[in-house]
Structure 1
Amino acid sequence: MTNWPAPLTNIINEFKECFDRMERYELLFEYADKLPHELQTENWTEQNRVKGCQSEAHVECKLDEEGGFQIHGAADANLVQGLIAILAIGVDGLPPSQVASLSPNFVDEMDVKASLTPSRANGFLNMFEMIKNTAASMSKEA
């Protein structure tokens, strides 16, 4: 087990308690409603579109007033919006360098990949890499 940031650890534990695939889906849909920083559709651009995602998904990474990392995002599918919310909640307020150093292995610990089609799982990993790369760029600029 890796030492994840506390909010991400809480999410991992919540998914570990799910009994089956349907319960994980329900939890993803619940997270879709918890997205902390929704990106309005008028701000969806080709630059912030998640490439390789089966749905229309967009994320922008920003820094809050204290220099903490924030993910602003949205998708046209609740399942994908739930995946965005997991990342947004899991890294909210962290230093960009910490976000850039995260491993995607938390997805395996959550056992959420088993609930996704291969194309959705690939889109989620593309989104994660896009966020990590942006965080790495932000930490170099700081």
Structure 2
Amino acid sequence: MTESRDWPAKLDPIVEEFSACFDSMERYELLFQYAKRNPSPLPQEEWSEGNQVHGCQSRAHVSCSLDEDGNFVLRGGADAQIVQGLIAITSIAVNGMTPSYVSEMSPLFAEEMGIKSSLTPSRANGFLNMFKRVQDEASMLAGGN
């Protein structure tokens, strides 16, 4: 993590892109674009009760694993484009990082991007529930409790 922020440097261009938006509608449009190009989708046929994110307004599912080099891999899917976009950005942030790094990463990038203030309270809470779920799974994959 860097001295000035608690997220990977690879998120900086995305944070800047969202920060340059004039309003919530422009941020939503960007989220929709990220939803369409999700780098690590989780196909609906792999959605299950075991990988569902509880406390999320829409149906959201995440699957966390390690690649052959021991780096974190997040795959996710949701039935709402806004949530799918949030999962896509989170995937960009965490994929390829160590599970220890992911377990300690802060979700503050969402505030810095202006996304959190653009979301309804229930969607903002759902994002935090999804992020916490990813952190918990990263901790388990790192050998934590």
Measured at CA, do residues 3 and 51 of structure 1 come closer, stay the same or move farther in structure 2, by a change above 3 Å? closer
In 1, Cα distance between equivalents of 2:17 and 2:139:
28
TM-score, L = length of structure 2: 0.92
Contact 1:15/1:111, CA 8 A, preserved across alignment: yes
Equivalents in 1 of 2:130, 2:92: separation in Å? Answer: 15
TM superposition outliers: structure 1 runs of 4+ over 2 Å: none
Mapped pair 1:112 → 2:131: no
| 1:92 and 2:99 are equivalent in the alignment | no
Once residues 3 and 52 of structure 1 are traced to their aligned partners in structure 2, the CA distance between those partners, rounded to angstroms, is 24
Other-structure match for 2:83: 80
What is the root-mean-square deviation of aligned Cα atoms in Å? 1.2
Residue identity opposite 1:49 in structure 2? Q
1:70 aligns with 2:73: yes
Tell me which amino acid in the other structure corresponds to 1:136: S
More displaced stretch, 79-88 vs 13-22: 13-22
- Which of residues 26, 32, 55 in structure 1 aligns to 2:29? 26
Q: What TM-score comes out, normalization by structure 1 length?
A: 0.94
Structure 2 equivalent of residue 9 of structure 1:
12
- Equivalent-residue separation in structure 1 for 2:138 and 2:51 (angstroms): 14
Identity of aligned residues (%): 55
By how many angstroms is 1:5 displaced? Answer: 0.8
Deviates more, 1:88-97 or 1:8-17: 8-17
Query: How far did residue 9 of structure 1 move?
Result: 2.0
Q: Which runs of 5+ in 1 are unaligned?
A: none
Out of 43, 47, 50, the position equivalent to 1:47 is 50
Aligned counterparts of 1:118 and 1:88: Cα–Cα separation in 2: 22
Q: Are the aligned partners of 1:7 and 1:91 in contact in 2 as well (CA < 8 Å)?
A: no
